A and B are shown apart, each in its own frame.
Chain A
């Protein structure tokens, strides 16, 4: 098991373009989370899944953001019509439902919107 994997690690895009990030959680983990982290701040919750069901979305997740976990395994986070304010590190984390509550984080996908 290699842990939580995120791709791409870095993405530079122009304002108005669409971007998609992928997260592969630890295989037996049924909960998957997306967080956003801007410079000098702690991670902010965006959304989470239990298996393929999206159970909660933050108000931070505008209608330009969409997340999916179609088969309950990997997840994608798509940002449409990117804005400069979307520049951040997007973190994915996973955990088993009934455990100590520890989240296992990926290394993140850094988005820069020019």
Chain B
């Protein structure tokens, strides 16, 4: 079974600075997707960024980028120019891309709570 580990329960960043959230995962599969989801307080979870395992190029979405290290099974999220609205829980998640595998479901880490200091 796949596992996703987020070793930083809480992080803090100064507004306009850069912060990196860590995520490692364990899998025996070669084809999969990785996601970062953001869950603001009392609001629904939204997708921040996704990465296909077969792509070597790291995904980027505006101020958000990832450092995907497949061999190390590491998938960190970098937030540049942090804004007050970035304050939220961030979850790393894994989904198999194999037809016969762990099924069509996301496996989430325990999350990292990000605080942004004004």
Chain B: interface residue total (CB-CB under 8 A): 23
Measured CA separation A8–B42 after assembly (Å) = 14
A42 and B103 form a contact (CB under 8 A): no
A56: B residues at CB distance < 8 A: 103-105
Q: Name which residue of chain B comes closest to A103, CB basis.
A: B106
B109: A residues at CB distance < 8 A: 42
Indicate if B45 sits at the interface (CB-CB under 8 A): yes
Chain A facing B: main interface SS: loop
Measured CA separation A31–B104 after assembly (Å) = 10
Quick one: which of A4, A35, A103, A107 contacts B47, CB cutoff 8 A?
A: A103
Measured CA separation A105–B93 after assembly (Å) = 14
Measured CA separation A102–B111 after assembly (Å) = 18
User: In A22-66, which residues have CB < 8 Å from any B CB?
Assistant: 31, 33, 35, 40-45, 48, 55-56
Q: Chain B interface (Cβ within 8 Å of chain A)?
A: 4, 33, 35, 37, 42-47, 50, 91, 93, 95, 103-111
A100 and B50 form a contact (CB under 8 A): yes
Q: Assuming the A-B contacts A4-B44, A105-B45, are A45 and B105 also in contact, with contact meaning beta carbons closer than 8 angstroms in the complex? A: yes
Q: Name which residue of chain A comes closest to B104, CB basis.
A: A48
Measured CA separation A33–B106 after assembly (Å) = 10
A42 and B50 form a contact (CB under 8 A): no
Measured CA separation A23–B61 after assembly (Å) = 30
Q: Assuming the A-B contacts A48-B105, A101-B33, A102-B50, are A41 and B44 also in contact, with contact meaning beta carbons closer than 8 angstroms in the complex? A: no
Quick one: which of A42, A93, A101, A103 contacts B110, CB cutoff 8 A?
A: A42
Question: Smallest distance from the beta carbon of B47 to chain A beta carbons, Å?
Answer: 5
B43: A residues at CB distance < 8 A: 107
A102: B residues at CB distance < 8 A: 35, 47, 50
Measured CA separation A22–B105 after assembly (Å) = 20
B107: A residues at CB distance < 8 A: 45
Measured CA separation A103–B38 after assembly (Å) = 12
A43: B residues at CB distance < 8 A: 45, 91, 106, 108
